[in-house]
């Protein structure tokens, strides 16, 4: 079974490995159900999805009919204005077969202009706060990609008291001194405020480039179990973060298996050797 950790100030004891919903976004319902059933085997009790993850919400919804009470359920809005975000949230609730979600997140909020719009007087954040007052959501978070995301999350936390953040975290990316510094600064703030920190792209090796795409992830991903073990254990070696699984159904059992066996973090030398062996490079530069 995968260990659990209190998800920030929410008080929910979440599995440290959170299911990334994109993995079922392009599957037929029977196959999606079988993938979701794997979560029960490992004690995963936290799902993170989004309306932009193909048909993930539509696949998770019917499964929620049986298991809603057992899961902390999170989704996102990628619209930036009040009316658009409000309507998108209501659509997600319908797709997910629920009358509330535990966590709603402003999705990929990095671009400065989009940030100003979403955080403005008639922006998406206003819709999420209103939804919280109406009991449609319990908590509000913010997510993002790219090198600038850690610094942007810090600015978001200055503007609003978010309950969670989500951003990339893996060994190659943390070799970027700017990202490393800003990630650590963000972690300090989140620790002080008891904000949950979710991490993505644990298996990322870089862009596909001219290579044949073999997974539904938009980036190259590790697929050997020993390498996945090292990548997953490196992330979980930071006791303050959660690991969100990759967006490919075939990788899910390997990630959960690795997470269930976590004991210690691999050494710097082991990680460097894996980087060389797999031609790994930062996904964001």
pTM of the model: 0.98
| pLDDT of the residue at 219 | 87
DSSP letter assigned to residue 213: P
253's CB contacts (< 8 A; 6+ apart) are 38
Give the distance from CA 275 to its chain's centroid. Answer: 23
Instruction: Share the mean pLDDT of the chain.
Output: 97
| pLDDT of the residue at 210 | 85
Q: Is the dihedral of CA 12, 14, 20, 21 positive or negative?
A: negative
SS3 9: helix
Distance set, CA 14 to CA 43, 85, 259 (Å)? 9, 26, 14
Percent of the chain residues topping a pLDDT of 90: 94
Closest CA to 25 of 15, 38, 35: 35
| pLDDT of the residue at 285 | 86
Residue 282 structure tokens: 């930062």
**CA 12/CA 201 separation, integer angstroms:** 23
**CA 142/CA 30 separation, integer angstroms:** 31
| pLDDT of the residue at 216 | 86
**CA 166/CA 171 separation, integer angstroms:** 16
Q: How confident is the model at residue 77 (pLDDT cuts 50, 70, 90)?
A: very high
Cα separation of the two ends of the chain:
35
Phi/psi region, residue 108 (left: phi>0; alpha: psi -120 to 50; beta: rest), is left
**CA 159/CA 278 separation, integer angstroms:** 40
Pair 222, 255: CB distance under 8 Å: no
The CATH classification of domain 4-277, taken from the options 3.30.70.890, 3.40.50.10190, 3.30.450.20, 3.20.20.100 = 3.20.20.100
**CA 184/CA 112 separation, integer angstroms:** 22
């Amino acid at each position: 079974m995968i260990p659990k950790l209190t998800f920030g100030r929410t008080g929910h004891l979440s599995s440290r490995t959170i299911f990334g919903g994109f993995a079922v976004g392009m599957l037929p319902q029977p196959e999606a159900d079988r993938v979701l059933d794997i979560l029960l085997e490992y004690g995963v009790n936290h799902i993170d999805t989004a309306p932009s993850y193909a048909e993930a919400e539509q696949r998770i919804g019917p499964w929620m009919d049986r298991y809603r009470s057992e899961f902390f359920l999170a989704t996102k809005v990628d619209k930036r204005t009040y009316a658009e975000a409000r309507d998108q949230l209501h659509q997600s609730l319908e797709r997910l077969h629920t009358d509330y979600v535990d966590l709603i997140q402003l999705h990929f909020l990095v671009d400065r202009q989009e940030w100003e719009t979403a955080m403005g007087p008639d922006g998406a954040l206003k819709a999420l706060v209103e939804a919280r007052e109406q009991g449609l959501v319990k908590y509000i978070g913010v997510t993002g990609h790219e090198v600038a995301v850690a610094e942007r999350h810090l600015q978001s936390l200055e503007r609003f008291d978010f309950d969670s953040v989500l951003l990339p975290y893996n060994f190659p990316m943390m070799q970027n001194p700017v990202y490393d510094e800003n990630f650590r600064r963000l972690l300090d703030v989140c620790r002080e405020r008891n904000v949950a920190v979710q991490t993505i792209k644990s298996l990322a090796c870089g862009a596909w480039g001219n290579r044949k795409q073999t997974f539904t992830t938009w980036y190259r991903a590790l697929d050997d179990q020993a390498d996945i073990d090292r990548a997953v254990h490196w992330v979980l070696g930071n006791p303050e973060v959660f690991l969100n699984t990759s967006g490919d159904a075939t990788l899910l059992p390997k990630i959960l298996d690795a997470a269930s066996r976590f004991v210690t973090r691999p050494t710097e030398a082991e990680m460097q050797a894996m980087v060389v062996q797999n031609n790994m490079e930062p996904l964001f530069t």
